[in-house]
Amino acid sequence: MKGGIERTEIVVVGAGFTGLSAAHELSNAGIDFLLLEARDRVGGRVEAKRNGLGERIDSGGQFLCQDMPELMALLQARGKTLVETYVDGEFVTQPRMSAQQADRTYLGSMAIRDRMNAIAPDDPAIAGLTVAVWLDRQHDPDQAKAAFRSMIEGLWCQALEKLPLWHLIDNDRRITNEVSELQYFVRETMQSLADDLAGDLGDRVRLNTPVATIEHRPKGVRLVSARSAVEARAALVAAPPMMASKLDFSPPLPAGLRTALGVWQSGAVIKLLVRYPSAFWRARGLSGVVMWRDLPGLFACDASKDDGHAALVVFVGGPLALRWRELGGAALRAEVTTRLEDALGAEAADMLDFSCRDWTHDRWSGGGYSDLIIDPAATDAERIILAGAPPLHFAASELSPSFPGYVEGAVAAGRIAARKMISGLQSAIATSASGS
């Protein structure tokens, strides 16, 4: 520790959208705070980088839809431009099948999902079941079950064998959009919104400041980094549960809270953006959407910003991402190129740029776009984490009452946690002032 001790009212750890949203709530309430971020940027699992053409692209969380009110309002307030994702035309399934078969298979997979979500998460009949075991017991056609597996492993980036059925149902019920979550993306990149939010907070945001230790006592906290220490009345750990579990707390967290934080595992995802001279698939009456049933978790869709920016985004999720990350850059590109050629034709090899972001073992995020509970018995984990151990509080998109695992969920989670802390702080100040 090189610097001195700073003092503030509340310290927020993590400048993803959860931490940024919490910090804005604190700022609006006139609460003094510091926002500490380990990375050299804000945004967390949202990120932008330059591709080989010099274009700024979304290498992390990207898509949203009109049914995400918190995020839509932020983007509108910041004057961001929404690009509607191109979905006209046929989607392609691999291995190939007729359009009629593809529609039937897709509807079959959605019927499985609807049947799953009709089950109450606390139904004793599903206690201890993983999604894989439950799916195996269903009497649907194998093609529909394969499509369901690919869809879920692509969305949640986790093997169905690890995912408790009740947890998937509970998550799915909180994702309430009636239009596709791929409806829009942001022309300026989603990262630009995070940068704008951080810009409002000025020097309250401290980058390159990983927290080494969080010391907590009933009357306050002390957060130690390599640079300095910060003392405050309270702290909000705005990080995915698995990453929060790796922080050094002194004294150790209560046993129940330690256990609740330890039952999560990050998903695994590799995100690829492929640029083309033109959107050749559109000329063939295709939407650019490709789903591979034989490679669960592999999915592609159109991510073109306009006629002069033709692109496909390819997601590799779950166990497939863990296997393919071992290929290395050149072999991974060759594998993806072959798959796209098989699905869309020889023109798929005519790439202007191939950008890869491997999130599978990210230092500060853990893996995929969301953590998931992998212990079927951990039905109280979220409740315990949200209760925290005041003056220590926890928030993450995974714990949001709406859209867990999405940017929308992160915004909601940060705002809810900050409002709760503001209320507690104001009550404490009022009690102190009254001499009670």
Domain boundaries, the chain: 5-48+188-264+374-434, 88-179+269-358
Rounded CA Rg of the chain: 22
CATH of domain 5-48+188-264+374-434: 3.50.50.60
Q: What is the pLDDT of residue 196?
A: 98
> Are the C-beta atoms of residues 366 and 243 closer than 8 Å to each other?
yes
Task: Give residue 1's pLDDT.
Answer: 47
C-alpha 303/C-alpha 407 separation (Å) is 18
pLDDT of residue 368: 81
- The verdict on whether residue 46 carries a ligand-binding annotation is no
Is 85 part of any known ligand binding site? no
Residues in contact with 137: Cβ distance below 8 Å, sequence separation at least 6, in sequence order? none
User: CA-to-CA distance for 209 and 195, rounded, in angstroms?
Assistant: 17
For domain 88-179+269-358, the CATH architecture is Alpha-Beta Complex (3.90)
Q: For position 366, what pLDDT does the model report?
A: 85
Is 38 annotated in a binding site? The answer is yes
Q: What gap in Å lies between CA 241 and CA 397, rounded to an integer?
A: 10
Give the model's pLDDT for residue 312: 98
Which amino acid appears at position 6 of this protein? E
State how far the alpha carbon of 345 is from the alpha carbons of 120, 290, 340, in Å: 44, 12, 7
pLDDT for 85 equals 98
27: enclosing H helix or E strand: helix 17-28
- DSSP code of residue 81: P
Determine the Cα–Cα distance for residues 89 and 186; give it in Å rounded to an integer. Answer: 22
- 408 is an annotated ligand-binding site residue: no
Tell me whether residue 315 is annotated as binding: yes
Note the pLDDT of residue 25. 98
**What is the predicted pLDDT for the residue at 102?**
87
Q: Please report which helix (H) or strand (E) contains residue 186, including its range.
A: strand 184-186
Residue 176 marked ligand-binding: no
pLDDT tens for the chain, 436 residues long, are: 455 789 999 999 999 999 999 999 999 999 999 999 999 999 999 999 999 999 999 999 999 999 999 999 999 999 999 999 999 999 999 999 888 898 899 999 999 999 999 999 999 999 999 999 999 999 999 999 999 999 999 999 999 999 999 999 999 999 999 999 999 999 999 999 999 999 999 999 999 999 999 999 988 999 999 888 999 999 999 999 999 999 999 999 999 999 999 999 999 999 999 999 999 999 999 999 999 999 999 999 999 998 889 999 999 999 999 999 999 999 999 999 999 999 999 999 999 999 999 999 999 998 888 999 999 999 999 999 999 999 999 999 999 999 999 999 999 999 999 999 999 887 776 666 666 5
Whole-number Cα distances in Å, 323 to 94, 161, 266: 19, 16, 16
- What pLDDT, in 10s, does the model give residues 196-219? 999 999 999 999 999 999 999 988
pLDDT of residue 104: 92
> Using CB atoms within 10 A of its CB, is residue 299 exposed (0-12), middle (13-18) or buried (19+)?
buried
d(CA 266, CA 165): 17
